[in-house]
Amino acid sequence: MINLKANPFYLKEEDISWVYNTLKSMNLKEKVGQLFCPVGITDDEEELKAFVNKIKPGGMMYRPGKGEDIRRTHKVLQDNSKIPLLLAANLEAGGNGIAVDGTYFGKQMQVAATDDEKMAYKLGLVAGREGRAVGCNWAFAPIVDIDMNFRNPITNVRTYGSDPKRVVKMAKNCMKGMNEAGVAVSIKHFPGDGVDERDQHLLSSVNSLSVEEWDKTYGMVYKEMIEAGAQTVMAGHIMLPSYSKKLNPALKDEEIMPATLSKELLNDLLREKLGFNGLIATDATAMIGFNVAEKREVAVPKAIASGCDVFLFNKNVEEDFKFMLKGIENNILTLERVDEAVIRILATKAALGLHKQKKENTLVFDEKELKVLKCQEHEVWAKECADKSVTLVKDTQKLLPIIKEKYKRIRLYVLGDTDDGGFKEGEKVSYKVKEKLENAGFEVDIFDNKRLDFREVFEGGIEELKAKYDLALYVANIETASNQTTVRIDWIHLMAANAPWFVRDIPTMFISMANPYHLLDVPMIKTFINAYSSSEYVLDAVIEKITGKSEFKGISPVDPFCNVWGTRF
């Protein structure tokens, strides 16, 4: 039974009446449409009108675009939808999660490195304000995964780190900021990513914790976030065998399903044990982790039958719509369960006041509100976060600060800095680092990864390098991204030509702008810095700190030494 007066809805009688009257006015296809939250792929007004009229989705999500374009698209959608839409975005690191001209405040791990919960609140407020300015009302954030396994290629800097207590402290404050901006959150990815070393985009991954271990970590985080009022939960394509077997002892190993398709995890664990009364959304169902668990024709209706209320993204939305209807005909999905899901969807909209905003024509703000994107206040906060977060992991050679009188000639090696991988939001750093160091009085020569100096690679000796350079500087911008199996350093395959073979002869420093675990691959480098986000704000802070104009203040939210002997000295 859904209690619409309780957490997280807190609806009044008039709002409850709107929910049930709206439900009563809908036919089956309209109800099924509410279950879907597709990805937007066009900004053509006529195509949008036709799509909304045909599918009548409950929500939609667009990938980041120019703020004014996203706002215009959202307005067309809301103006042409009888029932207001949940318009979502991955507002994990700031307004740049929906508007490319929004503020890149910082990855969650960067925020955690400040050890200041006010920074998490400001992240939520910036992301919420800027998302709301372009018409968003639903954030697929904050991430409440725990980065237990440094080899995991997808959690990493997207998390608040490896300490469950820090995770929940930061996530609560981020949620508070988003809610104050009028945006509902979706905490993710239940039952918890970060234990497996694999990516659920590529397979159904596994949270292998015991029941007792899960309760103390992920269970504690979800329970506290639910009690604090998290409006929605995103279920991942992640299995939790220990709990699935405990809740259903008759379940065979091969029958265990990822959370998106598991009644045990969604109903018995999330709803009953943890007491979650709100809306559950699947993670993206185009992901391989969802598709390999069941035939898609079965999986589409089964996701809702198992306890999810919203079906996120599609391979083919019209085909999935047919699969949902067919699932009802074949008794995979009951009409009662459809109604229950739609009630939660409508109640979430009512809790946000979308039904009232529809009447007031305020679902999408006036274009003048776009001025909040990358406004001065948000940039000041982002710079403050950068200053507090950059972390000196080690400097056992006593290299810092670098001064131009001693280290004037720098050989710069840039690792990563590519567009490979899915939906990266970081900025390229190669020439920005060079420019900023040259402005500070250094001479910088970038090692060309694509046009190798074969004479240097095969014949160059150490005296030749020492005659040219006073310092070797490695800047790694190897970002985590969807559909990527590793975030390890991949040296140039020919003789590992860009690897630091000269570290005993030339002072060498390593700065990671993304993955904090590179000491696994470069333990020999004695000066190592983690920056967590490749934004302009962070890059400026890094240059200030290595040149001695500012002190290092960051506190590592994870073990950057990867629990590997030899990485600390």
Helix (H, G, I), strand (E, B) or coil at 410: strand
pLDDT given at position 558: 98
Q: The CATH number of 13-372 is which of 1.20.910.10, 3.20.20.10, 2.40.50.840, 3.20.20.300?
A: 3.20.20.300
pLDDT digit string, tens, across residues 322-337: 999 999 999 999 999 9
Query: Residue 424 pLDDT > 60, yes or no?
Result: no
Position with higher pLDDT, 225 vs 482: 225
pLDDT given at position 418: 67
pLDDT given at position 431: 83
Query: Residue 286 pLDDT > 70, yes or no?
Result: yes
Query: Residue 426 pLDDT > 70, yes or no?
Result: no
Query: How far, in Å, CA of 29 to CA of 15, rounded?
Result: 23
Q: Judge whether 71 and 118 are in contact, CB under 8 Å.
A: no
Cβ contacts of 540 within 8 Å, gap of 6 or more = 383, 386, 436
Q: What is the mean pLDDT of residues 224-246?
A: 98
Q: Which of 70, 126, 69, 68 is nearest to 374 (CA)?
A: 126
pLDDT given at position 419: 57
Fold of 390-546: Rossmann fold (3.40.50)
CB atoms inside a 10 Å sphere around CB 218: 25
DSSP state of 396: T
Domain ranges within the chain, ordered by starting residue: 13-372, 390-546
pLDDT digit string, tens, across residues 119-174: 999 999 999 999 999 999 999 999 999 999 999 999 999 999 999 999 999 999 99
Q: How confident is the model at residue 420 (pLDDT cuts 50, 70, 90)?
A: low
Query: Residue 295 pLDDT > 90, yes or no?
Result: yes
Q: How confident is the model at residue 417 (pLDDT cuts 50, 70, 90)?
A: confident
pLDDT given at position 557: 98
**Looking at the chain, how many residues does it have?**
569
CA 515 to chain centre: 14
Q: Which of 220, 261, 271, 224 is nearest to 240 (CA)?
A: 261
Does the annotation count 283 as an active-site position?
Answer: yes
Q: What is the mean pLDDT of residues 335-353?
A: 98
What is the residue-wise DSSP string for 498-566? TS-TTTTTS-EEEEESS-TTGGGT-TT-SEEEE-----HHHHHHHHHHHTTSS------SS-TTTT-TT
- Give residue 376's identity as a one-letter amino acid code: Q
Q: List Cα–Cα distances, 565 to 338, 378, 529, in angstroms.
A: 54, 41, 19
- Give residue 166's identity as a one-letter amino acid code: R
Q: How confident is the model at residue 96 (pLDDT cuts 50, 70, 90)?
A: very high
Query: Residue 369 pLDDT > 90, yes or no?
Result: yes
The dihedral region occupied by 138, where left means phi > 0, alpha psi between -120 and 50, and beta the remainder, is beta
pLDDT given at position 53: 96
* Catalytic site residue from 268, 283, 309, 470: 283
Query: How far, in Å, CA of 258 to CA of 497, rounded?
Result: 43
Alpha carbons within 13 angstroms on the beta-carbon side of residue 364 total 23
